[in-house]
Structure 1
Amino acid sequence: MTKFLLSVHVLAAIIAIGPVTVAASMFPAFTRRVAAASADGHPLAVLRTLHRICRVYAAVGIVVPVFGFATAISLGVLGDTWLIISIGLTAAAAGVLALMVLPDQGKILAGLTATSPPAAPARPVITQLAMYTGTFNMLWATVTVLMIIRPGSTTGA
């Protein structure tokens, strides 16, 4: 059962968190291109798609910690320091995504769709979103490294 739980946990992380990381990273850069875009609406459609990917896969990503907890219980490592730190970092990453990245993306999209032709968002707003996205990505990268290294592990990894 542990192998099944771990497999679902890892697959969910790859399938759910990967797209959020990529789409969130692309959003600020693509937002900068909107200012130079033609009136064909294509860049705005791309931004909407990136935002939707972030929202949908963030919701699907809830499976990752659920199966992570189940795996940790099955392995008997729920009290290990590396796992507690990983849980905290995962919660922080989820908070950054839910409270900073997604709302800022939504604000940018709302501002762009409120005017015709779309008015480019202010550079500080895009820079702030890029910073939040980078923070989200670094938190997830740190969790990934902790999951692989597992300090104190007896497996030799």
Structure 2
Amino acid sequence: MSAILLSAHVIAAILAVGPIAVAASMFPRYARALHGPDAEARPAASVLHRICRAYATVGVAVPVLGFATAASMGVLTDAWVLVSIALTAAAAVVLIAAVLPAQRAALDGATVTTLAMTAGIFNLLWVIVTVLMIVRPGSSTGV
């Protein structure tokens, strides 16, 4: 059962977090162009924002499956799992409290200067979580 849960967790992470990471990173380029003559900026920015919103909802499956996987493997209290949980929560807060509202504000006409930075922080948090999931420091099965 652990292998099935782990597979579902990894697949959900790839299919849910990956599109958010890419769309959030691409959005600032189109947000800057919203104030210029680029006619394609608004539709592209709207689609990228929609991708981030929709996949954020689907992305809830990632920590749910992660908890189930960690519990089935008996590692729920391991330090690397607890740090991963905290960083995942931080990434969710960055997405919900900073990235998505800044994208919405940019689409509504505001000049937003923190979009690239917040998208970068979101992506960096996920990179760290991914490395922790692979390396599993302190685990008897870690690299």
**Amino acid aligned to 1:136:** F
- Work out the number of aligned pairs and report it: 143
Whole-Å separation in 2 of the counterparts to 1:79 and 1:130 = 34
| Structure showing greater Rg | 1
| Secondary structure of 1:106's aligned partner | helix
The answer to whether 1:89 aligns with 2:87 is yes
- 1:30: Cα distance to partner? 1.7
The answer to whether 1:142 aligns with 2:128 is yes
Whole-Å separation in 2 of the counterparts to 1:88 and 1:129 = 22
Give 1:70's aligned residue. 68
With 28-37 and 5-14 compared, the bigger mean Cα shift is at 28-37
Once the two structures are superposed, residues 58-86 of structure 1 have per-residue CA deviations (whole angstroms, 9 ceiling, x without a partner) of: 10000000000000000000000111000
Give 1:30's aligned residue. 30
Identity over aligned residues, as a percent? 57
Structure 1 unaligned residues grouped into runs of 5+: 112-120
Give 2:5's aligned residue. 5
| Runs of 4+, deviation exceeding 6 Å | none
Aligned-pair Cα RMSD in Å: 1.2
Residue pair 2:135, 2:142 contacting (<8 A) in 1 also: no
- 1:32: Cα distance to partner? 1.8
**Amino acid aligned to 1:79:** T
Alpha carbons of 1:63 and 1:154: their partners in 2 closer, same or farther (altered >3 Å)?
same
Give the TM-score normalised by structure 1: 0.87
Residue pair 2:30, 2:42 contacting (<8 A) in 1 also: no
Whole-Å separation in 2 of the counterparts to 1:104 and 1:36 = 18
Give the TM-score normalised by structure 2: 0.95
Whole-Å separation in 2 of the counterparts to 1:155 and 1:136 = 28
Whole-Å separation in 2 of the counterparts to 1:59 and 1:44 = 23
Whole-Å separation in 2 of the counterparts to 1:13 and 1:93 = 13
